[in-house]
Amino acid sequence: MNRPALREITLGQMLDEIIEKYPDNDALVYVDRDFRLTYRQFGELVDNLAKGLMALGVEHGEKVAVWATNVPYWIALQFATAKIGAILLTVNTSYKRSELEYLLTHSEAENLFIIDGYRDSDYVQILYDVAPELKSCQRESLKSTKLPHLKRVCFLGHEKHRGMYSVPEILGLSRMVSDEEYQARQDACDPHDVVNMQYTSGTTGFPKGVMLTHYNIGNNGFWIGENQRFTEKDRLCLPVPLFHCFGCVLGVLAAVSHGSCLVVLEAFNPIQVMASVDQEKCTALYGVPTMFIAVLEHKLFERFDYSSLRTGIMAGSPCPVHVMRQVMEKMNMTEITICYGLTEGSPVMTQTLPDDSVRHRVETVGRAMPEIEVRIVDPETNEEVPRGIQGEVCCRGYNVMKGYYNNPEATANTIDTDGWLHSGDLGVMDEDGYVTINGRLKDMIIRGGENIYPREIEEFIYTMEGVSDVQVAGVPSRKYGEEVGAFIIRKKGSDIQAEDVKDFCRGQIAWHKIPKYIAFVESYPLTASGKVQKYKLREEAGRLFPEAMK
């Protein structure tokens, strides 16, 4: 295939090219509210929103934070900020007051868009608690004691709230900005400007702001779409959060760069996923493993039609082999791919391809993306290890972040002097360049000096009848330092017990890898993007298994 080289264009230029090519193609669809925009209509919304932001006084380089679920205006805001040289700062939807305050303070964000709230969090009230001045000050002259950089707050919808601008008001202000002023602002944008900031959830220390450029995520999104063979005829069902790279890069930019349609869900719901795929004849579906498991095991699964599906991505956490096989067989996703990377890498560094063997597509995370180097190094010496030997996964190329915001020390600890980005993940590369991820450096269990990798044990226990999902984590032990703990979600109707699991493992895996502690749980602690928080499982293990420390 004749593949184009990396492109030096902004996200705004990319969108304009697609609008010119496919103006009447569906761009954005929400099945649950009968919301539908063509690329021409979407472009008009983006331009009016961008002009409205300029009229409000949003300058080139300002941060525009968005704290919202996947509501329709979210994606328009992603491109509107890009067109005027602002930086979209995505906020985790699970954040509470202290986390929001930290992010807005550390990022020095000048603007914030919010919705009413999510789950048990009232975003409006939280913001009034943090910045009570909103209730009394003039909207154009906000001065907050706790958030000194914050200039304006906007509501990502039609409702009016004290101290905030609504979307209709911002769109109405667009008339104040001429086409010439708007074009001049776009012309001032450079592909190597920072366009997106995301705070890593981080299991230790405070979150860090990852700075990503148009060049980083525009090219990464394009290649992700290329590797799924996206065209203007594809329709992508997107139930993953937009605040995460999985949503706004693997999803939005992969689709838009190919003129594909985005069928978006405001939040994950297995019935809405199945209905969206069926009704809109989606050709691709994204999700983390737990999402696919929820769809496959849903009692209404057989009532929906998946024949239109062809491809998609399973990513975000290690993908169980048996789940991949079920998705390929039962959901018609014969060309499904796996992506691997991290936010600091824009985010994808490896991806499987539709032409790869089934074994490679279910057991590895693929090979290096075009124009990206990937290697495996010894974590102690930083020297590249031979093929087939485990080490830390590193990458180098156009995708490496610009750095962490206002944190040069952390940047230097993550990107070495030769430009290699260190992932913190353990992996092996085979002779053909395929990478297998074994776990996190920090997830590795060290039992009496023996290194144990949770992924290996998880994959084995997944094959046991009655197991829906399993996560393996270290349990603190006074005698050995750590013991192996397994946290298992049973399949409906299953009554397997801890001894059954141990019996299943005996003689099949090394004795020291057999879980000493087993807990049956209903769910796992997850980040808002669907990643299992293993450090919380380790914390929970201390409470569940107090005998371990005796």
One-character DSSP codes across 26-63: EEEEEGGGTEEEEHHHHHHHHHHHHHHHHHHTPPTT-E
Burial, 410: exposed, middle or buried (Cβ in 10 Å; 0-12, 13-18, 19+)? middle
Output the pTM of the full model. 0.85
Q: What average pLDDT does this structure show over 525-537?
A: 80
| Residue partners of 271: CB distance under 8 A and separation at least 6 | 298, 300
Give the pLDDT confidence score for residue 448 in this predicted structure.
66
Cα(118)–Cα(243) distance, rounded to whole angstroms?
13
Cα(334)–Cα(331) distance, rounded to whole angstroms?
8
Number of domains in the chain: 2
Torsion of CA 411, 414, 420, 423, to 10 degrees: -140
Domain presence at residue 500: yes
Q: What average pLDDT does this structure show over 314-326?
A: 83
Decide if pLDDT at 203 tops 50. no
Is the CB of residue 312 less than 8 Å from the CB of residue 337?
yes
Give the pLDDT confidence score for residue 481 in this predicted structure.
76
- Residues 222-264: pLDDT tens digits? 999 999 999 999 999 999 999 999 999 999 999 999 999 999 9
- Residues 262-290: pLDDT tens digits? 999 999 999 999 999 999 999 999 998 88
Q: What average pLDDT does this structure show over 502-512?
A: 86
Q: What average pLDDT does this structure show over 516-528?
A: 89
Percentage of the chain exceeding pLDDT 70? 96
Domain presence at residue 188: yes
Mean pLDDT check: name the lowest of 221-225, 367-371, 504-508, 532-536.
Answer: 532-536
H or E element in which residue 503 lies: helix 498-505
Of 170, 199, 228, which closes a domain? 199
Domain presence at residue 511: yes
47: tokens are 């331009």
| Residue partners of 266: CB distance under 8 A and separation at least 6 | 30, 32, 69, 70, 71
Mean pLDDT check: name the lowest of 163-172, 202-211, 334-343, 536-545.
Answer: 202-211
Give the pLDDT confidence score for residue 441 in this predicted structure.
76
Of 183, 199, 215, which closes a domain? 199
Domain presence at residue 284: no
Domain presence at residue 208: no
Decide if pLDDT at 415 tops 50. yes
H or E element in which residue 513 lies: none
* Bridge partner residues of 375 (DSSP): 394
- Residues 65-81: pLDDT tens digits? 999 999 999 999 999 99
Domain presence at residue 144: yes
CATH number of the structural domain spanning residue 175:
3.40.50.12780
Decide if pLDDT at 92 tops 50. yes
Helices (DSSP H) in 244-339: which residue ranges?
245, 254-256, 270-280, 289-296, 321-330
Q: What average pLDDT does this structure show over 387-403?
A: 97
Cα(344)–Cα(441) distance, rounded to whole angstroms?
17
Domain presence at residue 77: yes
Of 168, 199, 230, which closes a domain? 199
Domain presence at residue 42: yes
Domain coverage including residue 478: 445-549
H or E element in which residue 225 lies: helix 214-226
CATH number of the structural domain spanning residue 490:
3.30.300.30
Give the pLDDT confidence score for residue 550 in this predicted structure.
67
